[in-house]
Amino acid sequence: MPKCALNQDTDDPSDWVGTDDDNWLMRWRIKKKHWFAFANRCPPGLTWTIVFLPGLYLFPFLVWFTGWSWWYLFPIAVCPVARKWRLLPTTVWAIKSGGPWRLENTDSKYIIAMEDKDFVFMPRWETSSASVITPFYLSRIQKLCRWHFAVQWPLLFQFHWYWKAKDVPLLNDNPDVDGKYFGGYRGWHRDEDEIYWGDGAALGNPK
């Protein structure tokens, strides 16, 4: 992606010192963050993404079943993608058990809870007149209900569950649930910097 996806803070490599990427394996990404960033701040148009499928190296038996292919030697595809992405993600499908949904606004300064149906399809999340000014979207960290699974667009799969129902916190509580909770996400998640990052994580303690 072009660097227009980054804002002033994320464009500075020094801001990433001490983060999860600041280790010997991932440190190269600190100076190439825009390779993994998509945002609304870019102008309309197309750019290109490189898709690398190293898993093909792990399945040599495919050659025996399907015949030899150059793609097994160079498992790379180049695909066009839009430079300008939507400002907020759209919830395509979501389901939960008990407790409210956890929503956050555009810059994550405000996080609210909304009691809604356990099953929703393409919700609009219009909670008040203020939401017109500061619209809310479904957070990838859901810790107020027993379990949930959701699909958002741009494509993001997210889930969580508590091992025991008694460990689900109340609305205004902020307990340590380490070891009581498990969740994760994979795809393009939106952060408070208004950037969609392509990554994934497994979470043992929602924060």
- pLDDT tens digits, residue range 37-94? 899 999 999 988 877 766 555 555 656 566 666 666 667 778 898 999 988 888 888 8
- Residue 129 scores a pLDDT above 50: no
Give the number of other Cβ atoms within 10 Å of residue 17's Cβ: 11
Give 148's pLDDT tier (boundaries 50, 70, 90).
Answer: very high
pLDDT at 72: 63
pTM of the model: 0.76
pLDDT at 128: 44
- Residue 184 scores a pLDDT above 90: yes
- Among residues of the chain, what percentage have pLDDT more than 90? 19
- Non-local CB neighbours of 125 within 8 Å, separated by 6+ positions: 91, 103, 114, 131, 135, 136, 137, 138
Does 97 lie in the same domain as 78? no
Does 188 lie in the same domain as 94? yes
Does 195 lie in the same domain as 139? yes
* Domain that includes residue 40, residue range: 3-82
Distance between CA 113 and CA 99 in Å, rounded?
A: 9
- Residue 185 scores a pLDDT above 90: yes
- Non-local CB neighbours of 46 within 8 Å, separated by 6+ positions: 80, 81, 82, 83
- Non-local CB neighbours of 117 within 8 Å, separated by 6+ positions: none
pLDDT at 112: 65
pLDDT at 79: 83
Q: How many domains does the chain have?
A: 2
Distance between CA 9 and CA 192 in Å, rounded?
A: 12
Does 130 lie in the same domain as 56? no
Does 103 lie in the same domain as 187? yes
Does 105 lie in the same domain as 61? no
